[in-house]
Amino acid sequence: MKTNMSRWILCGYLVYLLLPLYWLVSMALRSNAEIAGEFSVLPASPTWLNFAEIFSNPVWYEAFANSLTYVGLNTLLSLSVAIPAAYVFSRYRFLGDKQLFFWLLTNRMAPPAVFLLPFFQLYSAIGLFDTPLAIALAHCLFTVPLAVWILEGFFSGVPTELDEMARLDGHSFLYFFFRVFLPINRGALGVTLFFCFMFSWVELLLARTLSGAATKPIAVVMTRTVSASGMDWGVLAAAGVLTVVPGILVVWFVRKDLVKGFALGRVS
């Protein structure tokens, strides 16, 4: 009886969570006429036309490509900067290390909007405006501190004796770092990648301001798609569905590491 009860509650919660997602998918499979018409739970005549529109219209698929470009660039930049930084913070004591570490975090305390104006003006001045790199760099201001903080916690959990042992064994630092240290921190890298990707993927304000015609991100295109014939609900919904997909893919690929990572899995 009791297990039945909790099962129902759990199912109810799941439905509550998935309902908006289902409605998005179901809208994406209907024509505009059907969306505006009678209420029905299932699409009466499912159609792929909305998706076909996105994959054939350059405005849509280029927006996806733009978004993926700067998000990928951001994730790559963040990780390649944060990994060495986190390693140094976890392994070395130097003048002002604690202050520097804390200062990194303070970057995250300001709302992104604060940086809109300086970024916009600066990028315009040096000709970086309307390039994927502009948005990726702007997002780095938030993702790098986050990545350093997450990684430092994990790296500090690895005993320094391991570094020393590798050196005594006669291994070069690069061998140790890439063949031992990074592989045993795979969970940490997965979690960090997830957070960087997600931040950059859903961030709208900076992306919208720093992008022009050439780099318009998908989220921006979605908020601006009003045609002469009114809102194209179906296509918009299909774009929404496709926007969710990369997030799901990232989670899928790092899911094993995520579980370890969120358990703050100290290396055993």
DSSP letter assigned to residue 264: T
* Residue 133 lies near other proteins (rule: CB under 8 A): no
Whichever of 91 and 224 has its CB closer to other proteins, that residue is: 91
Report in angstroms how near the CB of residue 92 gets to other proteins at its nearest.
Answer: 10
For other proteins, the binding residue among 40, 80, 172, 223 (CB under 8 A) is: 172
* Residue 95 lies near other proteins (rule: CB under 8 A): no
Query: Where do we find the tokens 């500090």?
Result: 156
For other proteins, the binding residue among 12, 84, 118, 159 (CB under 8 A) is: 159
Q: How many CB atoms lie within 10 A of CB 148?
A: 26
* Residue 268 lies near other proteins (rule: CB under 8 A): yes
DSSP letter assigned to residue 130: T
Q: How many CB atoms lie within 10 A of CB 243?
A: 18
Residue 34 to residue 31: CA distance in whole angstroms: 5
Q: How many CB atoms lie within 10 A of CB 97?
A: 12
Phi, psi for residue 94 in degrees, rounded to 5: -145, 170
* Residue 171 lies near other proteins (rule: CB under 8 A): yes
Hey, what amino acid is at 123?
A: Y
For other proteins, the binding residue among 1, 170, 213, 248 (CB under 8 A) is: 170
The contact mask relative to other proteins for 180-219 (x = CB under 8 A, - = no) is x--xx-----------------------------------
Residues in contact with other proteins by CB under 8 A are 159, 161-162, 164-172, 175, 180, 183-184, 267-268
